Amino acid sequence: AVFAILAAAYYWLPKWTGHMYNERLAQTHFWLSTIFVNVLFFPQHFLGLAGMPRRIPDYSVQFADWNMISSIGGFGFGIAQLLFVYLLYKCIRGGQEAEARAWEGAEGLEWEVPSPAPHHTFETPPVVR
């Protein structure tokens, strides 16, 4: 669900702010997030196979190593989100101006208006084809 929310934010960010974001930074954010999410969750599969129960406040020493690796993945994922916040800040503060159709193949009424969309976008109902 988190990746779907991030994908939606990246898709709509030019329309919301009127500026394009740095795609290289966005790709770096994606790959760091993907790697750290895997470092976060794969050890939990191994812990479950080893017999560690879920939702417990404390665990046996035998599970410490995998839990440490999982914790590193969680912290890494959190730090990777700081890159997203920075990217969001840079996009809001300025950058290359976004066109009305920021993405190739963008169809629909929302992509016919300038970015960011002005208030009272359609004074009269538009004709939809």
Residue 47, in any domain of the structure: yes
pLDDT over 80 at 6, yes or no: yes
| Mean pLDDT confidence for 84-88 | 97
Nearest to 90 by CA among 39, 20, 34: 20
Task: Quote the DSSP letter at residue 19.
Answer: B
| Tokens read off for 54 | 């879920």
Domain of residue 14: give its range.
2-111
Q: Looking at the 3D structure of the chain, how many domains does it have?
A: 1
Residue 94, in any domain of the structure: yes
Residue 26, in any domain of the structure: yes
Grouping H, G, I as helix, E, B as strand and the rest as coil, residue 97 is strand
| Spatial CB neighbours of 72, under 8 Å, sequence gap ≥ 6 | 39
Residue 66, in any domain of the structure: yes
d(CA 40, CA 34): 10
> What's the pTM?
0.84
Residue 46, in any domain of the structure: yes
pLDDT of residue 109: 83
d(CA 33, CA 84): 10
| Tokens read off for 109 | 């009424």
Residue 24, in any domain of the structure: yes
pLDDT of residue 50: 94
